[in-house]
Amino acid sequence: MRSTCEGNQRLSSSSSSEQLLSASVMESDGRSGFRMPSFGQPGLVRCVDLPSGALQLHAWRSTGSAVYLLVRTENSLCLWDVNGENMNKLYASRVQYASPMPYMDEEVLIMDQEGLIWFGSVNDAPERLKRVKCVGDVQLICPSDHPRIIYAADAGNVWMIDLRDGTSHGSILYSVAEFDDTSDCGRYYTYENAFPMPIVQHICPLNGRPRMLLVTTSTRFCLLDERMPQVRYIEQAHSIADGGDYILSAPRFSDSERNGYVYPFYVVRNITLADVQQVSFYEHAQQRQWSSLCHIKRLAEPSDITIFLEEQRKYGLRISRGQRRRFFGDGPTRAIHVQEGLRRGYDGREKHILFRMVSDGSIWYEETSIDDDRKDEENALNNSVAKVRQMVQNSETERGPVWEENVDSALLRQPESLTRCWNIEGPMRSIGTDQEVIGDIDEQIDDPMKTTSSSDYPNSKPQMQFDDTDHIISDIVLKCWSKYS
């Protein structure tokens, strides 16, 4: 697998025919919404108000010309019709999962906060959604390649549910194995629950591969085929805490040399050691067999280049903390998206683009393809270091983060423009007079490790500092005292 980081490029250069959707929660004036840039018309940005903060976006195109965007918010599920530019609330309370139904045009699958499963058309009223009653504590759901069959899971089992049944018992597809079974150790040496039982954390169908499902537990990846219940094609251990917070199946790659397919998965962690990890499985088309492609790999963050340059002093390039935030974003990856539809690049290889959003809201992307790039690794590294060196040299003339270039001014509002100021008259004065200079400012900046004793400061009479709240309360007390005295 080859991954090339192109984070400093504009998003419009990565896709000319597809409209990409980026969302961010806007908290100006107590409002929430998402922004949808139109890359066909530079500078045009549409801001849509939402009833609460957005948690997830899912865009898809129906068999007709309609383009829909599912917006899962903190308190509801909304549907935005991109062509009609109207917002419809599909569900009036918080939902855990929402996805379009495969092969069923303009239908969605929903699981609410109570674990109830609903499905129906996006054009129907919310009260017309159909519900499927399931026997069991449903915690996870996802659609399959069948129009009316879905996968569901609780803590220890995965089964298939037919939406056409009023009350579905389902058929067990997979059960978590008890690896700490000690029944054969003798009658006096049985230790039940000696180790914590693995829990099903995620279920994810393979992108472009019917009847295959990846089950992620607390300790393992399990690849299943629905035609063979209770049989695990592949079982691979992992060390990802609780199986990660989100897993995404990317489009497969064709391996023409060996007549097979590569299915990559991306796992995002937001709570414990936030990062993005990638695991792949290989399908042998002729033998109809599966194998694990490689060990689980952590993908590099945009700011990891600064750590590399700090360790490799031979390049003679050090990046300060401020430059790191400016050039490579602030914080780890919080959200990912794989852009489909990009099948062939300029060099003839299949590739897809992995978008990621870090904590400060900046969006980065990297191209992923199948290639043996060991011979090009040294040249790519030298080019990256040269590019970073040029960025640092030009930092004195450039203003603002590099991803703010060619961005509409509506998206570049500084925090000062969102702050309300009140002018409260009163004894709000710092220690000393306005004409006093506390030390040599230039000297302190040039040598930040230098300490200054208290005797170096100018002599001034100590003055009492007043807080805004104290001044207001004191003013009220004095007026009341003079009134009743």
DSSP-derived secondary structure letter, 236: E
How confident is the model at residue 465, as a pLDDT? Answer: 47
Place of tokens 């569900």: 91
The lowest-confidence range among 94-108, 177-191, 230-244, 433-447 is: 433-447
Per-residue confidence band for 464, with pLDDT thresholds at 50, 70 and 90: very low
Residues in the chain: 485
How confident is the model at residue 463, as a pLDDT? Answer: 44
How confident is the model at residue 214, as a pLDDT? Answer: 96
Residues 11-45 as b or e (16 or more Cβ within 10 Å = b): beebeeeeebbbbbbbeeeeebbbbbbebeeeeeb
448/451 Cα distance (integer angstroms): 8
pLDDT one-digit tens code per residue, 36-54: 555 445 545 677 888 888 8
How confident is the model at residue 133, as a pLDDT? Answer: 83
Q: Indicate the fold that domain 2-301+332-374 takes in CATH.
A: Methylamine Dehydrogenase; Chain H (2.130.10)
Mean pLDDT of the 175-197 span: 68
The lowest-confidence range among 182-196, 274-288, 375-389 is: 182-196
The lowest-confidence range among 161-165, 185-189, 243-247 is: 185-189
Model confidence at 394: pLDDT above 50: yes
pLDDT one-digit tens code per residue, 140-173: 999 999 988 999 999 999 999 988 876 766 789 9
* Tokens found for residue 476: 């009220």
Sign of the CA dihedral with 111 first, then 36, 419, and 323 last? positive
Model confidence at 426: pLDDT above 70: no
Model confidence at 30: pLDDT above 50: no
Model confidence at 15: pLDDT above 50: no
Model confidence at 431: pLDDT above 50: no
Element (H, E) at 117: strand 117-121
- The interaxial angle of helices 377-393 and 304-311, nearest 10 deg, is 100
Sign of the CA dihedral with 235 first, then 236, 242, and 247 last? negative
How confident is the model at residue 264, as a pLDDT? Answer: 94
Mean pLDDT of the 169-181 span: 78
Mean pLDDT of the 98-125 span: 90
Per-residue confidence band for 324, with pLDDT thresholds at 50, 70 and 90: confident
Residue ranges of the domains in the chain? 2-301+332-374, 422-484
How confident is the model at residue 60, as a pLDDT? Answer: 86
- Distance, CA of 89 to chain centre: 24
End-to-end Cα spacing for the chain: 84
Average per-residue pLDDT in the chain? 75
Model confidence at 191: pLDDT above 70: no
pLDDT one-digit tens code per residue, 343-358: 665 666 788 899 999 9
Model confidence at 266: pLDDT above 90: yes
pLDDT one-digit tens code per residue, 222-244: 999 999 999 998 999 998 988 99
pLDDT one-digit tens code per residue, 290-315: 999 888 999 989 888 888 888 888 88
Mean pLDDT of the 184-205 span: 76
Q: Which of 364, 366, 365, 367 is nearest to 401 (CA)?
A: 364
How confident is the model at residue 194, as a pLDDT? Answer: 67
